[in-house]
Amino acid sequence: MFDIYINNVTIKGTFDILANGSNYREVIWDFMANGSLNLTLSKASGSAFGPICNAYEILQNITRVQETNQKNVEVISKVRNELLVYNQANKLLDTRSGDPCVPHTWLGLFCETYNGSIIITDVDVSNNEPVGQIPESLTSLPYLKFLDEKCDTGKNISAVLIGTVASGSFLLTVVVRIIVVCVHRRKMRPQGRFDGKRRQVVENVVIFLPSKDDMSIKSISIEPFTLEYIETITENYKTLIGEGGFGSVYRGTILDGHEVAVKVRSAMSTQGTWEFENELNLLSEIRHENLVPLLGYCSEKDQQILVYPFMSNGSLQDRLYACLNEYFHYSGLTYLHTFPGSSIIHRDVKSSNILLDHSMCAKAADFGFSKYAPQERDSNASLEVRGTAGYLDPEYYTTQQLSAKSDVFSFGVVLLEIAKSYFRESRIDEIVDPGIKGGYHAEAMWRVMEVALSCIESYATYRPCMTDIVRELEDALIIENNASEYMKSIDSLTKSNSNRFSLVLDKRILIPSISTPTETSPIMTQAPSPPQPR
């Protein structure tokens, strides 16, 4: 016999579990507790043995704070009913009812929270071994990204359903439009488009890919290559064209004759599986003319390989530093930009990550460190600091709080990479390509300088957003294209340094030091003074 206490209050005294002739007795009571509940079983006075607790069960009411998106509920219920037509003996399918995500998710479903409601993103009913075709109603799930289904023919097929989010919250429309500010306007040569085996991401289209048992990544719309194929197109990694934090990059030629760059992760790489999967997942969902597209990947025998189109004109950094050491071989500088909705933050914007194709079209590359921009309501946006010294936002470095303005700072450094040693003394002629001197408008050039300076403000709150940067650079381009109307004022503008630009110079903004590509660039090591009201 024993006594039962809750929070030192006697519930049952001298409780005899054998009193009814069995070793089981049910005890029910109501009890109110504030914050904690302490259940004590104590040997009763005169009892030879004390109680032994074999098991206990505590039930708690859970308040449902969110419900699954109603359209998702209707569609998945319809899918269940369509599956039951050919799988009436499947008891598991027949027992599914109610909300598919809360409080407990149906077996085989994966749900996420998005814009205040719960959505279904993955469907895996392969364990149920259903027969028949995949229900067409699945295409009505707007956020579905992955579907795994085993049919009765024994074929294992991974069906990847790419659902583009209507609001654009997960979509990158970034990096930069080419703006030629200090060059003669010239016609660009037609840019050849790669017509290899890459998959175009579209809304609610089912694409079937071979099953990859060794891949943990979902939502892949990129071509998987075998290791044997990689070795063939690179001639066993014959031509090394570059090296980076991920590993070595080799030149190759695929079967249709197009040249590719094959990035192979090194065993000594500072980047690992996370960066590989991150870049693979991001580039499987986005396409933009100013992003280097991912053509394929290989994850076989502990190898992690990414395949891109070959950028025949190298990187912007190669061009910039070649010009400093020799002379300009090209018409001018182009800078890349477009404005995002809710963007992906690149986190490693620098001149060596801006590649130039055969038509001198600039394309941003290397998305291994990229992250989705934290939402305004996200109070925990702290992330491990990633980036390159010299291009790294000092506020991000000191606070570890990531925002889109961190990319703005890095972009400003790229703008200043050549000009930083000249503009303080207003020697604007020394910034411009010698081949076009006299063929540009000084005011357009000052506009670019002002944009660059505003990008590298010490505090992110004072930096412009990407949309404003584009607008300013486009204004500069308009001035340049109409330079003939202002040519008479070039000399006076150059001598006076422009009123707008002089105001910026008075702020004495610290310009990050940029070293040669082979050296480590320093970053600000001291936190700046707090911003003052303006």
pLDDT tens-digit readout, 263-318 = 887 766 656 666 777 777 767 766 666 677 788 888 887 788 888 888 877 766 66
- Pairwise CA distance, residues 389 & 299, whole Å: 31
Sign of CA dihedral 213, 215, 217, 220: negative
Same structural domain for residues 143 and 74? yes
Domain final residue, candidates 154, 178, 208: 154
Tell me, yes or no, whether 119 lies in a domain.
yes
Tell me, yes or no, whether 444 lies in a domain.
no
Same structural domain for residues 18 and 79? no
- Pairwise CA distance, residues 150 & 132, whole Å: 10
- Pairwise CA distance, residues 176 & 363, whole Å: 8
Same structural domain for residues 77 and 36? no
pLDDT at 148: 56
- The residue segments making up the domain with residue 13 are 2-43
Annotated binding site for ATP: 263
Written as tens digits, the pLDDT of the chain (534 aa) is 888 888 888 888 888 877 777 777 777 777 777 777 888 888 888 888 778 777 777 777 766 567 788 888 888 888 878 777 767 666 556 566 778 887 778 877 888 887 777 888 888 766 556 666 677 777 777 777 666 554 443 333 233 333 322 223 222 222 223 333 333 333 333 333 222 232 232 233 232 222 333 333 344 457 788 888 888 888 888 888 877 767 788 988 887 778 888 888 776 665 666 677 777 776 776 666 667 778 888 888 778 888 888 887 776 666 665 543 333 332 222 333 343 445 677 677 777 767 776 666 666 676 666 666 655 444 444 456 777 788 888 888 888 787 778 888 888 888 777 555 344 445 555 555 555 555 556 777 788 788 888 888 888 888 888 778 777 877 777 776 665 444 544 444 444 443 333 333 333 334 444 443 333 333 333 444 444 444
Which residue, 326, 319, 409, is CA-closest to 362? 319
Which residue, 453, 242, 210, 234, is CA-closest to 355? 242
Q: What is the CA radius of gyration of the chain?
A: 31
The tokens describing 259, both together, are 């040249």
- Pairwise CA distance, residues 293 & 307, whole Å: 9
The alpha carbon of residue 483 and the mean position of all alpha carbons in its chain are separated, in whole angstroms, by 40
Tell me, yes or no, whether 212 lies in a domain.
no
Phi then psi for residue 445, to 5 deg, are -65, -40
Q: How many CB atoms lie within 10 A of CB 237?
A: 14
At residue 267, the 3 state secondary structure works out as coil
Tell me the per-residue pLDDT of 429-475, one tens digit each, with 9 for 90 and over: 555 555 555 555 677 778 878 888 888 888 888 888 877 877 787 77
pLDDT at 452: 86
DSSP-derived secondary structure for 15-71: E-TTTTSSS----------SS---EEEEEPTT-SS------------------B-HH
The alpha carbon of residue 520 and the mean position of all alpha carbons in its chain are separated, in whole angstroms, by 26
Long-range contact list for 264-272, CB < 8 A, 24+ apart?
A: 264/237, 264/303, 264/304, 264/305, 265/303, 265/304, 265/305, 269/245, 270/245, 271/245, 271/246, 271/368
Tell me, yes or no, whether 220 lies in a domain.
no
How is the beta sheet containing 2-6 ordered, strand by strand? 9-15, 2-6, 39-43
The tokens describing 384, both together, are 């491990």
Say how many domains are in the chain.
2
pLDDT at 128: 57
Same structural domain for residues 31 and 74? no
Q: How many CB atoms lie within 10 A of CB 293?
A: 17
Tell me, yes or no, whether 10 lies in a domain.
yes
- Pairwise CA distance, residues 3 & 23, whole Å: 16
The tokens describing 306, both together, are 């990414």
433 is known as an active-site residue: no
The tokens describing 20, both together, are 């009814």
410, 392 Cβ separation under 8 angstroms:
yes
- Pairwise CA distance, residues 167 & 258, whole Å: 36
- Pairwise CA distance, residues 437 & 335, whole Å: 19
409, 350 Cβ separation under 8 angstroms:
no
State how beta strands 156-162 and 205-210 pair: antiparallel
Q: What is the CATH number of the domain that holds 148?
A: 3.80.10.10
Tell me, yes or no, whether 9 lies in a domain.
yes
Same structural domain for residues 75 and 149? yes
368, 275 Cβ separation under 8 angstroms:
yes
Angle between helices 404-419 and 316-325 in degrees, nearest 10: 20
Amino acid (one-letter) located at 178: I
Same structural domain for residues 17 and 84? no
Same structural domain for residues 86 and 30? no
Which residue, 297, 122, 154, 312, is CA-closest to 218? 122
> b vs e for 48-83, b when ≥16 Cβ sit within 10 Å of the residue's Cβ?
eeebeeeeeeeeeeeeeeeebbeebbebbeebbebb
- Pairwise CA distance, residues 410 & 387, whole Å: 9
State how beta strands 146-150 and 117-124 pair: parallel
Tell me, yes or no, whether 380 lies in a domain.
no
Q: Of the listed 3, 99, 122, 348, which one is catalytic?
A: 348
Tell me, yes or no, whether 354 lies in a domain.
no
Residues 6+ apart with CB under 8 A from 257: none
Amino acid (one-letter) located at 163: G
Same structural domain for residues 36 and 79? no
Same structural domain for residues 75 and 134? yes
Place of tokens 């032994």: 52
- Pairwise CA distance, residues 163 & 161, whole Å: 6
Same structural domain for residues 93 and 134? yes
Same structural domain for residues 127 and 88? yes
